[in-house]
Amino acid sequence: MSTLAVTTTLNGETVTFLCEPHETLLTALRDRLMLTGTKEGCSNGNCGACNVILDGTLVNSCLVLAAEVDGHQITTIEGIAGPNGLHPLQTSFLENAALQCGICTPGFIVASKALLDKNPQPTEREVRHWLAGNLCRCTGYDKIVRAVLEAASAGATKE
Amino acid sequence: MTQSNGFKVIGTRPVRHDGVDKVTGRALYGADVRLNGQLYGAMLRSPHAHARIVAIDTSEAAAVPGVKAIVTGADLPHVGDQIADIGEGAVNLRHLSANILAGRKALYFGHAIAAVAATSLTAAQQAVNKIKVTWEELPPVLNLRDAMAAGAAPLHPDVFTDELGEKSTTPSNIAEHLRHEKGDIAAGFAEAEVVVEREFVTGTVHQGYIEPHSATVQWNADGQLTVYCSTQGAFGVRREMSEILGVPISHVKVVPTEIGGGFGGKLNVYLEPVCALLSRKAGGRPVKMTMSRADVLAATGPTSASIVRVKLGARRDGTLTAAQAWMAFEAGAFPGSPVGSAAGVILAPYDIPNVVIDGFDVLCNKPKANAYRAPGGTNAAYAAESMIDELARALKMGPIEIRLKNAAREGTRRADGPVFPRIGFVETLEALLHHPHFQSRLERATGSRRRGRGIAAGFWFNWGGTSSASAQVNPDGTVALSEGSTDIGGTRTSIAMQLAESIGIPVNLVKPQVVDTDSVGYNDATGGSRTTFATGMVAYELGQKLREELIAHAARQFEVEAAAVRFEDGAFRTDGKPPLSYFDVCGALRDTGGEIVASVSMRTKGEGPAFGAHLVDVEVDIETGKVKILRYTAAQDVGRAIYPPFVEGQIQGGVAQGVGWALNEEYLYDKAGHMLNAGFLDYRMPTALDLPMIEALIVEVPNPRHPYGVRGVGEVPIVPPAGAVANAIFDALGVRMTELPMSPARNIAALAAAGVAA
Ligand code: FES
Ligand code: FES
């Protein structure tokens, strides 16, 4: 099996890693680059736990081949907080108790950031529609939706 | 500052101690473990629902480059029949072992058969594909009626019916028949002026935690086993490993990781013993195995499909005179469905003088049923609460009125024996009665959309169990708390809050951590809604000990008797001297008598039974059969809300799971017993788009047997939703839905059968 070298911009830094041709971006992030904040819930695009932002677009990293990201930009949960501390979405999730077990939380925060980058003032319906690709089994979504709406009204995108 | 509830910490909303790690991706869950030199494991699972294993040939698999070890059921030590009480209920070890790796037969689609450890996951998976099994297929038994039919082929030659305590003489798929009786059932029905009766069916559902099972195990050459896994109970894993592998309990150390949901499905081991066997064969290298989502759905968890019949009798004034319930639960491939707890729950909210409850635990070729949040409670309450609704309508009584009239109170004896202590069912119903949602009028829709409103109640026992914890006071005044209770939804904080309240310090001075099984005393699993109750009780006792020691230290600094010192508002005071701050005393411990360390272990008693009452508005599209949840309000007596947002979260999460169970979730099998929907696309759990905001109405009737009044919260909220939604659908359509899930197709069929046209 031929191993590929991939160079990408990951959370603002240039990195090069080796991977097998069939390997997903999710596996490369977790097992090659040791960024285990991106979670695996299903590996077939149905839970959103593996959400990352690829060139400004929200994707399920379990459905992207690692080799495809060569020359592209990726933001993972590890790149959401800035040098000055937590992103307002992260703070809002904490203040609204929008997590219980927390396994879905990285995916929800990455997905919500992608939403607010596009639509800084979403309605409740728009938030629910956007986050319908992320499963949470613990919270019933109530506090997650509130956390995103609150971060939006506090101007989360200015960060 | 003291709040209106009389406490300084309890009832506040601090940011949880593990919060930053969990919003930044730093928290480590089961699959995030990586040890130096680790191997990757993969599992061969049965493609058949029922088949004899004639032979397993691993020679080709062993030749795959990178393969270091292969194990089958033959590698497990032979364990005889032994009943072990592990976490929630008794398990026969032989069955537990045969569920880890099949012995002579595969008993369900997905049953583990053999496993490989290799230097890469790819190599392990390739090798698994090269294992050759010679099968002799057997006809599967796939549902309750077939399994219970006279002459049905038994799954196990050595399972006999435990018939009200007596063993049957021939093997049977009915593993147990239990009965609870109270009063005189015939006289009760003779006295009734109205009688209603109906049968309900529910499908198999999964807990649906988002984190798949993952385990990493190292079996060292010195015999010491270290297990890293996400589990609801590290001590239960230790016990199961010891029993299944036949090693002393002292040789097993379990290091719990963060856990991505469990809901009862992560109480027992699945992968851990297999990883251990592989590690030993591979010369002690650690072996990590993680399930795919398909494996999780096909081979773990599910909770029982069931048939439940309920008959109720009442006088015209609404007083219940008699109730009878008959219920059969699928146990899956090994005995142990939650029919026992279902039988305890089903009529518990009501004070009924004459009751008979029969329960059957039934084997079939499906994965071994496991606990799922209030195990059996949802199945039971769906049937019972539908019949209470039917009775109320027959009597022209309001749904809250009839429940209040018959509500269990302090002193009511349950059919299964216990007498209720102080409970808050009446208060919970009254809270719902006065809530604006109940007082509002439901706007009726037009055209093909019909709206309805439903109510259902629910009960759960809650559990105490054993908890231990230890703590030390640091020189800067922080208190390090080591506990052994898995934190599945914020209990580090709810326990730290009780410790802080007990000592009399702010909660941010407590630093809680969940430690491994060698570093803290025994703890029962996080289950039974016990952790905030029982480990909280331990935290209270720990706090009292630390407080007493701190006062003694302050007294030595003051040079007075300890009895002359008070600790108030962060300072130690004694008459005639300037106060000493808390931090001054902590900083001087070494000079005033030495370090302060304390530990507490308790076998707790006095858990508080809990009740919920739910109100839901639905809209049914009679053209598509789809049900939309318009508004949901869930009232619950929680005793005392330590951390109110987490309490609300438990209620909201339980409602969401219950709504999924009610409307969509169900295992689908073909005739040969292959699971057809082992993925999140087709095993359809609710998304953010399927639900409205869920209002949690917290009722506090303190549990007099807990220092802060805690009852336990997590399980009750999943009990009422299916009944509430079914009653709302009846209100909308006039059709009684007797099968879960109430999916679009089933609703359309029920409408057609009832002659309701779009
Ligand atoms: S792991 Fe990628 S969507 Fe579930
Ligand atoms: S917090 Fe557990 S899955 Fe969302």
ipTM score assigned to the predicted complex: 0.97
A142 with B694: Cβ contact below 8 A: yes
**Cross-chain Cβ contact A97/B259 below 8 Å:** no
H helix count then E strand count, chain A: 5, 5
- Total Cβ atoms within 10 A of residue B302: 27
Q: Which ligand is nearest to the CA of A103?
A: 2
The bridge status of strand B510-514 relative to strand B479-483 is parallel
State which H helix or E strand residue B391 sits in: helix B377-395
| B568-585 residue pLDDT tens | 999 999 999 999 999 999
For residue B7, how many other CB atoms are within 10 A of its CB?
A: 16
At B74, is the secondary structure helix, strand, or coil? helix
**For residue B84, what pLDDT is reported?**
65
B445 — pLDDT class (breaks 50, 70, 90): confident
Contact B211 A38 (CB under 8 A): no
Residue B276's pLDDT band (boundaries 50, 70, 90)?
very high
| Of residues B554, B540, B485, B549, the one with CA closest to residue B510 | B540
- With CA atoms as reference, the chain A residue closest to B486 would be A101
Provide the residue count of chain B: 758
Q: Quick one: average pLDDT of A77-99?
A: 96
pLDDT in tens, B196-252: 999 999 999 999 999 999 999 999 999 999 999 999 999 999 999 999 999 999 999
Q: Rounded to whole angstroms, how far apart are CA atoms B161 and B364?
A: 14
Averaged pLDDT, A31-44: 97
CB-based contact A54:A68 (threshold 8 Å):
no
Q: What percent of chain B has pLDDT over 90?
A: 93
The CATH code that applies to domain B302-462+608-754 is 3.30.365.10
What is the CA(A61)–ligand 1 centre distance, in A?
7
Nearest ligand atom owner, CA of B211 = 2
Burial label, B378 (beta-carbon count in 10 A; 0-12, 13-18, 19+): buried
Per-residue pLDDT for B684 more than 70? yes
pTM, two decimals, is: 0.97
What backbone phi and psi angles, to 5 degrees, belong to B130? -100, 0
Q: Show the domains of chain A with their CATH numbers.
A: 4-78 (3.10.20.30), 88-153 (1.10.150.120)
Who among A102, A132, A136 is closest to B22 (CB)?
A102
User: What local confidence, expressed as pLDDT, does residue B97 receive?
Assistant: 94
What phi and psi, each to the nearest 5 degrees, are found at residue A82? -95, 180
H or E stretch including A51? strand A51-54
Nearest ligand 2 atom to the CA of B211 is 3
Candidates B636, B665, B630, B632; CA nearest to B650 is B636
Domain B463-604 grouped into CATH 3.90.180.10: no
Per-residue pLDDT tens over the stretch B285-339: 999 999 999 999 999 989 999 999 999 999 999 999 999 999 999 999 999 999 9
| Cα of A152 from ligand 1 centre, angstroms | 25
Which residue is closest to B717 within chain A, CA to CA? A140
Candidate from A80, A97, A137 with C-beta closest to B685: A137
Give Rg (Cα) of chain A. 15
Structure tokens at B468: 């231990």
Q: Packing angle between helix B644-663 and helix A142-153, nearest 10 degrees?
A: 120
Identify the pLDDT of residue A154: 87
What integer best gives the mean pLDDT of chain B? Answer: 96
Per CATH, B302-462+608-754 and B463-604 having the same topology is answered yes
**B325 and B345 in contact (C-beta within 8 Å)?**
no
Burial class from Cβ neighbours inside 10 Å (0-12, 13-18, 19+) for residue B671 reads exposed
Q: Say which residues have a Cβ less than 8 Å from residue A34's Cβ, sequence separation at least 6.
A: B34
Q: Which residue of B has its CA nearest to A129?
A: B689
Ligand lying closest to the C-alpha of residue A43: 1
Domain limits of chain B? 33-138+211-260+266-299, 302-462+608-754, 463-604
Q: What is the predicted pLDDT for the residue at B497?
A: 98
Looking at residue A35, its pLDDT comes to: 98
The predicted structure's pLDDT at residue A159: 45
Contacts A149 to B, Cβ<8 Å? none
Task: Confirm if B339 and B327 have CB atoms less than 8 A apart.
Answer: yes
Q: What's the rounded Cα separation, in Å, for the pair A65 and A54? A: 12
Distance (Å, rounded) from C-alpha B656 to C-alpha B636? 15
Which of A36, A43, A129 is facing B293, going by the closest CB pair? Answer: A43
Return the ligand 1 atom nearest residue B680 CA.
4
Tokens 């007493």, residue located: B548
Q: E strands within B554-673? A: 566-568, 571-573, 580-581, 597-604, 610-621, 627-637
Q: May I ask the CATH architecture of the domain B33-138+211-260+266-299? A: Alpha-Beta Complex (3.90)
Contact A145 B29 (CB under 8 A): no
How many Å lie between the alpha carbon of A101 and the closest alpha carbon of chain B? 5
> Do A111 and A98 meet the contact criterion of CB atoms below 8 Å apart?
no
CA A104 – ligand 2 centroid, Å: 5
Residues 6+ apart with CB under 8 A from A85: none
**Rounded distance from Cα A149 to ligand 2 centre (Å):** 18
Report how far apart the first and last C-alpha atoms of chain B are (Å, whole number).
60
